[in-house]
Structure 1
Amino acid sequence: MTSPTHFFEVTLEGKPSAVREGLAHIRAELAALGETENFLGRLETVLAEVLNNIVEHAFKPGTNGEITIHLRKGRHNWHIRVDDTGNCMPNTAVPNGDLPSLETDFYNLPEGGFGWALVKMLANQVRYVRHEGGNRLEFLLPLAWDAE
């Protein structure tokens, strides 16, 4: 027996208020499909980190690029792809996501701090490529999580 395919996408302007609205819209869509609060919280955590990083780092000051989030439900996870029109990531790679030492002074935290560590703890198969003059980040977010 196969489950129905759920796919949708959301396009938003690269600014904080649009990110908040986009996250609320995605949460509502997935809640309507019956996703659990636990899953929705993990999704919102990962997407908020990714989208806020795009807004803060990928777009030149004073410009608002475009971000498109594609979501497709699989049997055991949601496949999420985020495309944006901003500058590429440093070293054209996702930060490694290592947690900084708790002894590190706040002002000396490395770029990627706790956010990318969270993304990599909650999501699987995180991949980044520079694609057609923009950025593409893809990852899988499991429906069930071992910590549940």
Structure 2
Amino acid sequence: MGTWTERLAELDIALPPVAKPVAAYIPAIRTGSLVYTSGQLPFVDGALSSTGKVGAEVDADEAKAAARACALNALAAIDNLVGLDAIVRIVKVVGFVASAEGFTGQPGVVNGASEFFGEVFGDAGIHARSAVGVAELPLGAPVEVELIVEVS
């Protein structure tokens, strides 16, 4: 297998520009061999792919696609900081899902990110994970994803 950059090209996936922070933080930070990303929202071409609560304004499939967009944005933040090819493995994914009352499908939504990492990184994309339902997310986003990644 080649580099992660080559793998994205094989999958015809381009990294987007790094999303500008919406508050006082940076998109990603490295300490030792770990990179932590800030929570990434589902920005596509500079705008949120959808807004609202999952199980009300946003259906689970749309939210799963939004989680994939969050994951791609997290990779862009890592690439900007250390380069995509420095990734050794995805260690942990934390997904937050703005959930309508009674919605309990958070794990399925966050699978949008998890399955994406498996597609790109294979065994190096297998990770620990949390999928958390929350009342609200910034800018009305339905999903937010953050990562911990081991790098060389």
TM tier, smaller: 0.3 to 0.5
TM-score w.r.t. length of structure 2: 0.32
TM-score w.r.t. length of structure 1: 0.32
Structure with the bigger RCO (C-alpha within 8 Å, sep 6+) is 2
